[in-house]
A and B are shown apart, each in its own frame.
Chain A
């Protein structure tokens, strides 16, 4: 184990995840723990010794959708409906929030499902007997809404219980819940086999779903139960293990909504350069509106690259949600994800070209408009950033656009 002022790293062979978890808890540590295998990465976030979130990057990783189906909180159809809405409105609510809004699950159920997702993911990560770990102190998880807080002792208990059970299943399911299964083509030898209803349910899904995780989600049962029942089928030669179908990457739905290719930094550089050329209050306000339009244009391009088209009312929905649709009673003119520049510019020109008696009104409008437009721009950045897969990149992005906003504040507003 190597410790430096900033990082803690070593081999998982020498120091297992359970020991690391205990150390994080006892030390009240805050930061990100990265686990690496040659083709797999896991990341666990801690805040003051408690676990905040955890995920693994593979195309077959456990998603909230899997958990909701396996715990019978939502059906595949309901999830498809939520995914479909999300692809039309990439800046809108996330799957769990949509299901709460539709009253399919309660807010408490959503938190329980998210906690389950974390616990089930971490118990699988704890089975890595090789690979390396690296702890980056101070790296915070940027959460939307109230972050989770799971006691490390509870996590350790779950991991130990699972490890004990998994030891017996491991040799049959080498890739854990992502193990790819198929029916054998030859008639199995040995004694006759009688199937009960749950086992038969598994068999009916094998050729369609292939992995334990997908089968469990389809038949709406916890994946560990399905794994237990699949093992005798492998033992009897009815099922065979195939090469893993899991690849590094994001699950399909997450991939389509991902904003990895959104070139935020080029946009920020462009915005800053334009801002520096705007000297008057009128042109500065018009610039803010332009920045929002540029952001929406970039978002639209990114969505196209992901194979989805941006709904024409995405900006409007965002502004409604953030209560930013008007400035002192003046409704922002919107059309197809843009602020209508001609109309907005004309309004600004009228106000700032007004006679001396109306200067106070113009100054007030400047302050309010500047506030509304900057909040709208920030909300758009935040919504886009929430679709960046890496929490570290999310944090770096936010720090960078905060620097830009500080630059906006540095410019003197009109007196």
Chain B
């Protein structure tokens, strides 16, 4: 079973991009459009504790910093790595992310390959060779 990643972003496009990209690399992925739904699912044990969370900063209802702080206050998420995704790249935003418990801060627009590299690096997973075309089930 692959590492488990939760994506929290109000953009359906970002959720789709990251779900597909991560699954193609062998990760298990679940995504949520806002932090409250994610926290609720985690608190109810509807999903297992993720190895990593990709967390958008500009979320509705509760922003990404608050979501990160809420999760990091609980011991069971102590080992869960949080990577922030944001359209803002100011130094202050990055510091806020770090203070809320995020390990990394990625600015939008992003290249999925770079996000995957950050996910791997933070989970201590070695870079994989590009899956062969045969393994990806190509046809033409």
> Residues on A close to B: CB < 8 A?
32, 34, 39-41, 43, 53-57, 63, 248-251, 254, 258, 260, 263, 265-266, 268-270, 272-274, 276, 389-393, 396-397, 399-400, 403-404, 406-407
Contacts and interface: CB of A to CB of B under 8 A. Distances in A.
A400 B112 contact: no
Contacts of A41: 134-135, 137-138
Given A272-B11, A406-B12, A390 B136 contact: yes
Contacts of A396: 20
A400 B13 CA distance: 6
Given A41-B134, A55-B139, A250-B133, A272 B14 contact: yes
B13 A391 contact: no
A310 B31 CA distance: 38
Interface residues of B, number: 26
B102 to A, nearest CB: 19
Interface in B17-76: 17, 20-21, 24
Given A54-B139, A265-B21, A389-B138, 6 more contacts: A265-B111, A273-B109, A274-B109, A390-B133, A392-B136, A407-B11
B92 interface: no
B133 A248 contact: yes
Contacts of B139: 43, 53-57, 389-391
25 contacts: A32-B137, A43-B138, A43-B139, A54-B139, A55-B139, A56-B139, A57-B138, A57-B139, A57-B140, A251-B140, A263-B111, A265-B21, A265-B112, A266-B109, A266-B112, A269-B14, A272-B11, A273-B87, A389-B140, A390-B138, A391-B139, A393-B24, A400-B13, A403-B15, A407-B12
A43 B16 contact: no
B16 A269 contact: no
Contacts of B24: 393
Interface string B85-117: 001000000000000000000001111110000
Q: Which of A54, A56, A270, A403 has the most CB atoms of chain B within a 10 A radius of its CB?
A: A403
A96 to B, nearest CB: 13
Contacts of B109: 266, 269-270, 272-274
A269 B87 contact: no
A367 to B, nearest CB: 23
B20 A269 contact: no
Contacts of A53: 139
Given A265-B112, A269-B108, A250 B138 contact: yes
B133 A403 contact: no
Contacts of B21: 265
A365 B109 CA distance: 30
B133 A389 contact: yes
A34 B137 CA distance: 7
A390 B14 CA distance: 22
Contacts of B113: 263, 266
B128 interface: no
B137 A399 contact: no
Nearest to B111: A266
Contacts of B137: 32, 34, 41, 43, 57, 390-392
A177 to B, nearest CB: 17
Q: Which of B21, B132, B137, B139 has the most CB atoms of chain A within a 10 A radius of its CB?
A: B139
Given A266-B109, A266-B111, A396-B20, A272 B136 contact: no
A53 B138 CA distance: 13
A406 B13 CA distance: 9
A13 to B, nearest CB: 20
Nearest to A396: B20
Contacts of B134: 39-41, 57, 248-249
Contact of B13 (A40, A63, A272): A272
A393 B138 CA distance: 9
A184 B83 CA distance: 63
A276 B20 contact: no
Contacts of A272: 11, 13-14, 109
A400 B108 contact: no
A403 B87 contact: no
Given A250-B140, A389-B140, A269 B110 contact: yes
B17 A268 contact: yes
A265 B138 contact: no
A219 B133 CA distance: 31
B13 A269 contact: yes
B17 A400 contact: yes
Given A41-B137, A43-B137, A55-B139, A403 B108 contact: no
Contacts of A403: 12-13, 15-16
Nearest to A64: B140
Nearest to A34: B137
Given A39-B134, A248-B134, A268 B13 contact: yes
Contacts of A270: 109
Nearest to A392: B137
Contacts of B87: 273, 276
